[in-house]
Amino acid sequence: MQGQLVRASAVRVPGSPQKKRLIANLVRGKMANEAITLLKFMPHDAAKDIAKVIRTAVANAEENFGMNGDDMMIKSITVDEAEIMKRRRFGSRGRAVMRRKRSSHVNVVLVEKEGME
């Protein structure tokens, strides 16, 4: 059996969940420090948001549970759709065009990798 689960989440993060899921799929199953390093050099804005949540989960593991942050592995990472703010932009011929500003919920679950002693 693997060790304790450590969770972290960010709610109502601006940005499309579809774009954030593309980045989350790249780091799922990797070691946490490796994932943070990988995300640091990505040009996407979504990478910064996901890296921030992973860093928070590692800090929770170290501070609350006394675990070693270097031994943490990403067990699961999910990106869910949050509220959509509806705004209007004025179009041609007196029309209004609806703009949908999307946001996301990012959830990360870390687990301590066995055999790392």
Label residue 2 by pLDDT band (50, 70, 90): low
Express as a percent the part of the chain with pLDDT over 90: 92
Place of tokens 């687990």: 111
**Is position 117 within any domain?**
no
Q: Hey, what are 49's tokens?
A: 């948001």
Between 115 and 42, name the one with better pLDDT.
Answer: 42
Q: What are the residues facing 13 on neighbouring strands?
A: 104
Select from 110, 62, 47, 117 the least CA-distant residue to 38. 47
Q: What is the CATH number of the domain that holds 52?
A: 3.90.470.10
Select from 92, 87, 83, 8 the least CA-distant residue to 49. 8
**Is position 55 within any domain?**
yes
- pTM (whole model) above 0.95: no
**Is position 65 within any domain?**
yes
Q: What is the mean pLDDT of residues 88-96?
A: 95
What would the pLDDT profile of 50-72 be if each residue is shown by its tens digit? 999 999 999 999 999 999 999 99
Range of 49's domain?
A: 5-112
Select from 21, 12, 76, 28 the least CA-distant residue to 44. 21
pLDDT, residue 55, reads: 98
As for how many domains the chain has, the answer is 1
